Structure 1
Amino acid sequence: MGRTKLFFPLLFIWILNSPASARLNPKQYIHKFAPLAIHRMHIYQIPASVILGVAFLESGYGNSKNAILLHNHFGLVGQNNLRKTGRYRSVYKQFKNDTFSFDYFSRTLVSKKYYPKLKGKLYYKVWLANIHNHHYAKSKLLWVRRIASIIRKYHLYRFDIDLRKKNRING
């Protein structure tokens, strides 16, 4: 009898703290990470819809092991410390937190040859095509279609309005 009284409360606590209970749904992911994408948009002149759309797809809207354990929302390859712990083997880069992941992705785009001609432009399909053409993703045009579909389905382009206004004022 005493074991049963202890077992069920512990089981309940374990279920509440398990990774499955912490899973984000798409709207929660957008609500949580849109501010990071918008902030990077203002700094780097990359549409927030592109940043958030790529992060959404590559991280399984924050539920992939890479997003949870490595804070890697973009499928970026690099070093991580998890192999040393024996917990998880991965070729993906580990970040200190989610903000570092969003910054690194944005700075990666800034370093590309196509960036100067796209900087400040709102055409998410053109951005995605250029990212794809420079070998960011291995899954051919399906990658571009999937992200464009995510941007349309969840109206991520609404976050680009600030960039549109800024371009009108400066333009």
Structure 2
Amino acid sequence: MSFKNILFCFILLVAASCASKKTFVKPGKKKVVKVVEKEPVKLPSVNETKHVEKLKDTEVNLNKFTLEYIEKFAPIAVKKMHTHKIPASITLAQGVLESGSGRSELALKSNNHFGIKCHTNWTGESVTHDDDEKGECFRKYEYPETSYEDHSAFLTQRKRYEFLFSFGTKDYKKWARGLKDAGYATDPKYPEKLIKIIEDYKLHEFDDVKEKDVKYAKVDKKIDENPEEKIDKNVLYEVQKGDTLYSISKRFMISVEDLKDRNGLKDNTISIGQVLKIK
């Protein structure tokens, strides 16, 4: 063997020995992981039953299915307000409108209450449904509560909705109009429909519920692992188009807060090509 060949082999060996042992997930080589949903916990009351009974006594021609929907989902809407700073009235009104008060095909068969489509980063179950186009892909959930969490993630982790949070949690009219301006819906009357639902059913009263007045149970922030679906988390991940911290956390079965802590992130903003430490 010539000296040049020996030298070339030596260089290759050195390069191989110096290479990082960390796994690096490159674009096009995503590990497809089934979305594991946490079983919902019972949330404390926010006087939703009293709210509905008062509406029945003082208002007429209110939809009974909408009243049932409010009584069932008001606590989770308030919880999401306290966690993500989205007005409970907006979340509830969108749920009522998008799911037909929980009676739409998507809500009944897929627990999808907000019409959230698959997008490129979804690794969970899905169904096809005719919407803007025929046979579009929509997310399917085991629990409706996961749909509510996805709704919160959709608004908090996309830059085009960032301005909405400057309105606070008590200006539902600005939120309703802002959602339309940000492109959440194509219906030009979307804001008016939300506002009407909020005012007809007095959903803005839930925006006044203070976190200190609700006794939430303390839960572990980490997402539980399914022992049969563990994956190697000793990786660096390169952010791709369509990724959010929430979608990445679901893929690798860790919490958004853990991702932020491990990467020194102060908010949920990430950019294409950014390398995140998974473990």
**TM-score, normalised on structure 2?**
0.45
- What's the secondary structure of 1:92's corresponding residue? strand
Deviations 1:52-98 (A, max 9, x none): 00010000000000111111111111164445xxxxx6532212211
Question: In the TM superposition, what is the alpha-carbon distance from 1:137 to its structure 2 partner?
Answer: 0.6
Give the distance between the partners of 1:107 and 1:40, measured in 2 at CA.
10
Instruction: Indicate conservation of the 8 Å contact 2:127/2:138, yes or no.
Output: no
Q: Which residue of 2 aligns with 1:69?
A: 109
Q: Which residue of 2 aligns with 1:16?
A: none
Unaligned runs of 5+ in 2: 1-63, 129-134, 214-279
1:149/1:116 CA distance change after superposition, 3 Å = closer
Q: Which residue of 2 aligns with 1:126?
A: 174
Unaligned runs of 5+ in 1: 1-23, 84-88, 167-171
Q: Does 1:143 align with 2:190?
A: yes
Give the distance between the partners of 1:33 and 1:50, measured in 2 at CA.
12
Question: In the TM superposition, what is the alpha-carbon distance from 1:46 to its structure 2 partner?
Answer: 1.1
Give the distance between the partners of 2:66 and 2:114, measured in 1 at CA.
16
Q: Does 1:155 align with 2:202?
A: yes
Q: Does 1:101 align with 2:144?
A: no
Instruction: Indicate conservation of the 8 Å contact 2:169/2:207, yes or no.
Output: no
Give the distance between the partners of 1:165 and 1:157, measured in 2 at CA.
18
Instruction: Indicate conservation of the 8 Å contact 2:127/2:139, yes or no.
Output: no
Instruction: Indicate conservation of the 8 Å contact 2:102/2:108, yes or no.
Output: yes
Deviations 1:102-139 (A, max 9, x none): 01111111123214423x33100111111111111111
Give the distance between the partners of 1:135 and 1:124, measured in 2 at CA.
17
Instruction: Indicate conservation of the 8 Å contact 1:45/1:163, yes or no.
Output: no
Give the distance between the partners of 1:102 and 1:31, measured in 2 at CA.
15
Instruction: Indicate conservation of the 8 Å contact 2:106/2:113, yes or no.
Output: yes
Judging by fraction of residues, say which structure has more strand. 2
Instruction: Indicate conservation of the 8 Å contact 1:41/1:163, yes or no.
Output: no
Q: Which residue of 1 aligns with 2:162?
A: 113
Specify the structure having the higher radius of gyration (Cα).
2
Give the distance between the partners of 1:37 and 1:147, measured in 2 at CA.
15
2:66 to 2, 14, 26: 26
Q: Which residue of 1 aligns with 2:94?
A: 54
Instruction: Indicate conservation of the 8 Å contact 1:122/1:163, yes or no.
Output: no
Q: Which residue of 1 aligns with 2:53?
A: none
Give the distance between the partners of 1:155 and 1:165, measured in 2 at CA.
22
Q: Which residue of 1 aligns with 2:268?
A: none
